[in-house]
A = this chain, B = another copy of it.
C-alpha cells in the first residue's frame, strides 16, 4: 500500500514553519506496512491543492493532507475538498456538541467563526478530533482514500494515532528497517569496508548511509520482500563487520541509548555546560522517564557562574582560559559532587561567531567526563558554524559517555 502526504500552507513555502509532521507520519506509516512515496508542500491556493490532489491520486492509494483547517479566511482546505469531491458543507450535530463541550468554559472561543468548524462536507466520514475544533475528514475516491488533518503537530499526532491509523489499518506488507550507528570512521572508508557485503546483498535489500554530527547511521531496508528472520541475519552480519565502530544497534537518539544504559545499572548523571548552554541538558531530559537517571545541570554561560557555582578558581581561568582541560575537569568533578551523581559531563568551548583566537579558533571545545573511576578530558575541533559546533559537541559528549558506561 502506498501513501502520499500533501502539506498545505503558505507558511511552509516562505520558511516560517518547518514541516516536522511529515517525518513523524512517515515513521508511523512504515510501522503500519504502508510506504510513503512522496511528500508535497503546497500553497493555500485552490488551484495548487487541486493539482497536488490529482497528482497524488495518480500514484498513491492513500492521500494524507495536513493544514488549512483553521477557522480563519486563510484556511481553505475544507472548501477545496468539498469542490474536489463534489459535495457541500452541512452542520454536524455530533461535531457541534463536541466543540461546545471542549470550549464550554471559553466563551471567547465559542464565537461565530468557531461555529464554522462544525460545518463538514456531506458524505465525508468525520472522525473525532479529541483536542481541537478542526474536523478530521475521510473521503473515499473509488478504492482510494483521503484523510485530512490539522497541521498543528500535537493535534495531528493525536488524530493519526487515535483515529486515522486505526481507520486505515495495518497493511499485509511488512516494511522492515533496521539501523545501527557507528562512530570514528569516515563515510567513504566505511563504504569501502562494506563493499563485499553490499555486493552480496539481494536486490530486495537496501543499505543507506546517513552521516550526521560525526555519527553515521547505517540503515538496512526491505519493502515487503524479506522476512524478519532474513533481515535479522543480514543485520547481524552488518553489526559484526562494523563492530569496532559500533555505538548502538538501534536508531534511537544517543541520549535515549545512554539513558537506558544508566537505568539498567541504576546510575545517574549530571552536566555542566558552558557553550552548549543547556542543549545537552535539554536532550537528557527530553524523553519520558529521564528523571530516573538525569539529575540536572549547572549552565555556566557566564564565567562568574563557573567561579561561584562550580568552584573554578579565577586564577585558573586567567591562566588557562575557560576553554581548557583544567577548567572542564573542575566543572565535571564539581557538578558530579554537588549533584551527587555517578557520572557527569562538562563542556566548555567556542561556538562562535565571535570569541575565537589563533590559538583557540571557533569550534574548539574541551569536554570532561567524570566517573567513579576518575575523570577524562578531550579537546575537539567541531567546525565553524555556531549551531554545528554545539550539535556536534552534544553528540561527542554522549558518544563518549555511552562508551564509558559500556566499559
Contact = CB atoms under 8 A, between A and B. Distances in A.
A223 B36 CA distance: 33
B18 A18 contact: yes
A309 B299 contact: no
B297 A291 contact: no
Interface residues of A, number: 113
A25 interface: yes
Identical copies in the complex: 2
Interface string A261-285: 0000000100100001111111011
A6 to B, nearest CB: 10
A157 B219 CA distance: 26
A198 interface: yes
A191 B286 contact: no
A289 B210 CA distance: 32
A206 to B, nearest CB: 7
The dominant DSSP class at the A interface is mixed
A266 to B, nearest CB: 14
A327 to B, nearest CB: 15
Interface of A: 10-20, 22-30, 36-44, 48, 52, 55, 70-75, 106, 108-109, 111-114, 131, 152, 154, 157-158, 175, 177, 179, 185-189, 191-192, 198, 206-212, 217, 219, 221, 251, 268, 271, 276-282, 284-286, 288-291, 294-302, 304-305, 308-309, 338-340, 352-354, 383-388
11 contacts: A14-B27, A15-B23, A39-B40, A40-B41, A108-B185, A112-B192, A278-B284, A279-B285, A298-B309, A305-B339, A308-B338
